[in-house]
Amino acid sequence: MAVVAKNLQPGVMLTSSAVAVVTAGAGATVITNAVLSNPTAAAVDVTIQIQRSGGSALDVVPSRAIQANDTDLLPELTGRVLASGDQILASGAGLVCIVDGYALS
């Protein structure tokens, strides 16, 4: 078995529609940390969901306001294990999302 530290999402600017920010590859993927930053001049609401392969999207963070020029470390994602094809979805217009973790194969 190989364990490889990875930038699961090296950085993406979110929109108001939910998009996949992490999609697990073959084997398991473990999220070690995630950060959202708000470089805009106003508070922005973020929603984070998990969608298991073949399943429906479920809210992990239903709605949270990230204040202007602030960050959130998303503790709800720390330690989350994703199987092949599972996705983390996020929405929040103008927010920047970064996710790190390990891929196990």
Mean pLDDT across the chain, nearest whole number?
A: 97
Mean pLDDT of 18-42: 97
Tell whether the model's pLDDT for residue 34 goes beyond 90: yes
Helix, strand or coil, per DSSP, at residue 86: coil
What DSSP assignment string belongs to 5-45? EEEEEEEEE--SS-EEEEE--SSEEEEEEEEEEE-SSS-EE
Write out pLDDT tens, residues 69-92: 999 999 999 999 999 999 999 999
Query: May I ask the CATH class of domain 3-104?
Result: mainly beta
Close Cβ partners of 55 (under 8 Å, ≥ 6 residues apart)? none
**Percent of the chain with pLDDT strictly greater than 70:** 100
pLDDT of residue 102: 96
